[in-house]
Each structure stands twice: as structure tokens, then as C-alpha cells.
Amino acid sequence: MSETAAPAGVHDTDVPPAVIARDLTKVYGTAGSAVRALDGVSVAFTRGAFTAIMGPSGSGKSTLMHCLAGLDTATSGTVHLGRTDITRLRDKQLTRLRRDRVGFVFQSFNLLPMLTAEQNILLPAQIAGRAVDRERFDRIVDVVGLRERLDHLPSKLSGGQQQRVAVARALLGEPEVVYADEPTGNLDSRSGAEVLTFLRDSAASLRQTVVMVTHDPVAAAYADRVIFLRDGRLVDEVYAPTAETVLDRLVKLES
């Protein structure tokens, strides 16, 4: 895939993408020990689309997500979230941007054990001093199917339910993008399917942009699009993936 052309995923007729990375590089270490984790990645993420990032171990998936999300700084290149070039922001501005404009879902659910499901969902809004949109709260709680569980502590919820709380928490503030890092890595396949269905439904019905790193072709098949990395480069992509097409591309990449 050419790096000088428009970033993969940009089409003339599209509404402006939620996130665009241009010629992103990330080098860890120096001189003899330098590792080029990202090597000129240009990619755009369409508003309201659910995209999975895949590739062999060490191909740069986590590094790409961390640079896109402002959790790590790129060595060169730019990342735009809407109109903001996040690679030009100072630490304080980045912290505010992550709090106000980005949602995160991690493999470990990161819920506070002494707070109920509802309190966990509301916590970021409270910390940021944001008014809660109760209508959106109700809509999200219904989409994730947590209505009956709102007053439960995390310890009384299954892994899948805990992750759905984490997803609801990430969505409540209407972030411009939700980054999910192996969100089903700690779940059995049934709970994983529930969480992925919810991520897909929230992209579709709430027009939520979702970007997910996963190793699992079955998980990637829930996305609208899968992009593939190898050796820090974007080398392939599939729209409307199935587990079979994803697996097939992965096998080709690893051979």
C-alpha cells in the first residue's frame, strides 16, 4: 500500500474522517538498539465506523493505537482527531483531550470495585464536571442490556457484564472515537460475542467511531473494516470482513 497516496480509508465523497494518521512513524530506543515499531502509517477512520486493527505479534498494533489515542508520542507524522493535530499538543492539553474527546476500553475492565455499575458509568463525567445527558445514559444502558444490573457492584457481575459497563462508560461522554484494546481478551466466547455485538451496534445506532485492536479473526469480523499491519506498515485492508477472509489474509501475512 503506497504511503504517498491519500491515507487508506479516505474517499472523496466521505464526510471528514474522525481520525486521520499521516506518515506516522515510531522508533523506540536509539542507534543500534532502535526498533521501528511504526514505519510510515497513513490511515483514516470513518466517522461512525467500527474498524479492527490486526497483524502478527510485534507488527505495531498497540503502538499504532497508543499513538492515535495520544497515549504515546509518535516520532514523526501527524494524527488528527477532527481538526486537532494531537501530535502538536502539550501533555496537559493531551490529558484534557483524552478525557473529553476519546473513550477507552481495555482488556482488564478497570472498574472501581466499590462503585455500582451505574456509578462506574457516571464516574468520568463526574470527574470532568460534565452534566450527564440522562437520555443518552438510558439509551446506552438499554443497548448494552444493563438496566437490571445498574445497582450491582462489579464483583456481582459476569466478565461480559463488567466489560459492557466499561463500554457504556466509554460511550457516555459522546467521545469522537472509542479505542478498544483487546476488549474480549479476558472473556469467554459467549461474553465476548455480547460485547462485540454491542460495540458494533453502538457504531451503527449511535454513530460511534470505534477502533479495536484484536488478535482474534472472529472478533475482527464484527467490524466494518479490518486493517492489517506487518513490520510497522499498513499492508492490507478488508471491508465487510468475515472470520474466514480475515484468517486468510493473516495467514498470507505471516507466511
Ligand X SMILES: Nc1ncnc2c1ncn2[C@@H]1O[C@H](COP(=O)(O)OP(=O)(O)OP(=O)(O)O)[C@@H](O)[C@H]1O
Q: By CB under 6 A, name the binding residues for ligand X.
A: 28-29, 35, 37, 55, 57-63
- Angle at CA of residue 119, ends 203 and 141, nearest 5°: 35
Question: Which C-beta is closer to ligand X: that of 37 or that of 122?
Answer: 37
Bridging pattern class, strands 210-213 and 177-181: parallel
CB contact burial 25-59 (16+ within 10 A = b; e otherwise): bbeeeeeeeeebbbbbbbbbbbbbbbbbbbbeeeb
Question: Which C-beta is closer to ligand X: that of 34 or that of 112?
Answer: 34
Element (H or E) spanning 227, and its range?
Answer: strand 225-230
Minimum gap (Å) between residue 54 Cβ and ligand X: 9
Question: Which C-beta is closer to ligand X: that of 61 or that of 98?
Answer: 61
Q: Distance between CA 166 and CA 159 in Å, rounded?
A: 11
Question: Which C-beta is closer to ligand X: that of 138 or that of 254?
Answer: 254
Question: Which C-beta is closer to ligand X: that of 37 or that of 167?
Answer: 37
Q: Distance between CA 53 and CA 255 in Å, rounded?
A: 19
Minimum gap (Å) between residue 39 Cβ and ligand X: 10
Q: Distance between CA 243 and CA 218 in Å, rounded?
A: 5
Q: What are the cell numbers at 71?
A: 497515549
Question: Which C-beta is closer to ligand X: that of 59 or that of 161?
Answer: 59
Question: Which C-beta is closer to ligand X: that of 57 or that of 255?
Answer: 57
Minimum gap (Å) between residue 55 Cβ and ligand X: 5
The residues, ordered by sequence, that sit 6+ positions from 62 with a Cβ below 8 Å of its Cβ are 181, 213
Q: What are the cell numbers at 31?
A: 542507534
The residues, ordered by sequence, that sit 6+ positions from 92 with a Cβ below 8 Å of its Cβ are none
Minimum gap (Å) between residue 132 Cβ and ligand X: 34
